[in-house]
Chains A and B, each alone.
Chain A
Amino acid sequence: MALHFELVTPAKLVRSEEVHMVIVPGTEGEFGVLEGHAPFMSTIRDGAVQVYKTAGGTPENIEVRGGFAEVGDKGLTVLAEHVEDAA
């Protein structure tokens, strides 16, 4: 019941963890990714990526700018040029 989520910037690997769900601000609308999502690729607009560690928990917001998201067998990978980490 876990989705492998990676957030990568040119400077470093910001996140690599197992989470419940991630909501990504896609160019054509936000989309949530759960485990077992079909292969998918989208560019993202500037905004917050919401990471739900557990079902129903409060999301953690990570501001990202410029990039794209890829969902594959290995989970969700968000490549962003800039990340403003709240933590």
Chain B
Amino acid sequence: MASLKELKGRISSVKSTQKITKAKQMVAAAKLRRAQAAAEAARPYAERMSSVMASLASRVSGNSAPKLLAGTGSRQRHLLVVVNTDKGLCGGLNSNIVKAAKVKARELIAEGKDVQFYLVGKKGRAPIKRDYADRIEKWFDTSDVRQPGFDEAEAIGDDLIERFENGEFDVAHLVYPVFQSALAQDPTVDQLIPVPSPEGDADAAASDAVVEYEPGEEEILEELLPRYVKTQLFGALLEREASEQGASMTAMDNATRNAGDLIKDLTVQYNRSRQAAITTELIEIIAGAEAL
């Protein structure tokens, strides 16, 4: 049986933990709203981009298609771009992302492909390093900025495209969480490079038949593809931000509630032992008085 003093200490320590989790929950709730607004604001750009891509890609095909669209012709070396968060306290989010990445990696390795990792965000490093220490290409650090913006996406995109052009890999996959709600963030694996041919609907292609291009369709496509890759990365960063805050809010809400339950139990236990101590003391006094 723990002593009264020990119990008191435990109660106060759980209380201060609860204060932290509660504060973190409120911060996450506020940041979630901002992250969601940012994700929404980025949508028009992404939509325009993919509709333009769809109409262009359907026109430029065959041998003239740029390498970013057509691929290197081989599918041997794969690069997994894994987007994790920089901070913890967000429940199972990071381990889910890492799990999805590892499933994909195992699948590819089983097919006899070469797999490399390109890690974005701090929290994916340790768990992936444990299993695939020799396969990590690079860590991209996003922890020094408060909110990752397009500049980060641009830096990652430029780096990836350079590696692709140097022939360091054939296919790149992007692993990132998709924000569904504060309760659900699904880790998703998408092919990033070569850019998967967007499914342009036939109507759009037909109505665009008279569009004039300057300089030319291929030149525009060549300019557009790197942008498209960056937009995808930017989208992934925004999704990550929203997912992190959502998961954090939920996890911290649970933690706060658990701490509350624990405090209640401990207080009951504390009062019981206090009463027991008083009763024992009284019995001792009474027994002592009777003995006289």
Establish whether residues B210 and A27, one from each chain, have CB atoms under 8 Å apart when the complex forms. Answer: no
Establish whether residues B214 and A8, one from each chain, have CB atoms under 8 Å apart when the complex forms. Answer: no
Q: Which interface residue of A8, A13, A72 has the most chain B CB atoms within 10 A?
A: A8
Establish whether residues A10 and B45, one from each chain, have CB atoms under 8 Å apart when the complex forms. Answer: yes
Which chain B residues in 42-74 approach chain A with CB under 8 Å? Answer: 42, 44-46, 48-49, 52
Establish whether residues B234 and A10, one from each chain, have CB atoms under 8 Å apart when the complex forms. Answer: yes
Q: How far is the CA of A6 from the CA of B47 in the complex (A)?
A: 13
Establish whether residues A40 and B42, one from each chain, have CB atoms under 8 Å apart when the complex forms. Answer: no
Q: How many residues of B contact A (CB 8 A)?
A: 28
Q: How far is the CA of A11 from the CA of B148 in the complex (A)?
A: 11
| B288 at the binding interface (Cβ < 8 Å) | no
Residue of B nearest to A16 (CB): B44
Q: How far is the CA of A39 from the CA of B52 in the complex (A)?
A: 12
Q: How far is the CA of A13 from the CA of B37 in the complex (A)?
A: 12
**A55-79 toward B: CB 8 Å interface, digit per residue (1/0)?**
0000000000011101010000101
Which residues of chain B are near A10, meaning CB under 8 Å? 42, 45-46, 150, 153, 230-231, 234
Establish whether residues A70 and B212, one from each chain, have CB atoms under 8 Å apart when the complex forms. Answer: no
Tell me the total A-B contact number using a CB cutoff of 8 A: 73
Q: How far is the CA of A10 from the CA of B153 in the complex (A)?
A: 10
| B202 at the binding interface (Cβ < 8 Å) | no
| A50 at the binding interface (Cβ < 8 Å) | no
Establish whether residues B210 and A8, one from each chain, have CB atoms under 8 Å apart when the complex forms. Answer: no
Which residues of chain B are near A38, meaning CB under 8 Å? 210, 212
| A26 at the binding interface (Cβ < 8 Å) | yes
Q: Is the interface of A mostly helix, strand, loop or mixed?
A: strand
| A81 at the binding interface (Cβ < 8 Å) | yes
Which residues of chain A are near B220, meaning CB under 8 Å? 41-43, 68
Which residues of chain B are near A27, meaning CB under 8 Å? 214-215
Establish whether residues A9 and B45, one from each chain, have CB atoms under 8 Å apart when the complex forms. Answer: yes
Among A39, A43, A66, the residue within 8 A (CB) of B208 is A39
Which residues of chain B are near A68, meaning CB under 8 Å? 52, 220, 223-224
| B196 at the binding interface (Cβ < 8 Å) | no
**Residues A28 and B211 in contact in the complex (CB < 8 Å), given A8-B48, A11-B150, A81-B150:** no
CB distance from B36 to the nearest CB of A (A): 14
Q: How far is the CA of A43 from the CA of B46 in the complex (A)?
A: 17
Establish whether residues B223 and A40, one from each chain, have CB atoms under 8 Å apart when the complex forms. Answer: no
Establish whether residues A41 and B215, one from each chain, have CB atoms under 8 Å apart when the complex forms. Answer: no
Establish whether residues B45 and A43, one from each chain, have CB atoms under 8 Å apart when the complex forms. Answer: no
Among A39, A66, A79, the residue within 8 A (CB) of B45 is A79
Establish whether residues B215 and A40, one from each chain, have CB atoms under 8 Å apart when the complex forms. Answer: no
Which residues of chain A are near B230, meaning CB under 8 Å? 10, 81
Residue of A nearest to B151 (CB): A82
**A1-29 toward B: CB 8 Å interface, digit per residue (1/0)?**
00000101111110000000000001110
Establish whether residues B52 and A13, one from each chain, have CB atoms under 8 Å apart when the complex forms. Answer: no
| B149 at the binding interface (Cβ < 8 Å) | yes
Q: How far is the CA of A40 from the CA of B213 in the complex (A)?
A: 6
Q: Which 8 A-B pairs have the closest CB atoms?
A: A42-B214, A39-B211, A12-B41, A10-B150, A8-B45, A40-B212, A10-B45, A43-B223
Q: List 27 A-B contacts (CB under 8 A).
A: A6-B44, A8-B45, A9-B45, A10-B46, A10-B230, A10-B231, A11-B38, A13-B41, A27-B215, A38-B210, A38-B212, A39-B212, A40-B213, A41-B52, A41-B214, A41-B220, A42-B215, A43-B214, A43-B215, A43-B220, A67-B227, A68-B220, A70-B48, A72-B211, A81-B150, A81-B230, A82-B150
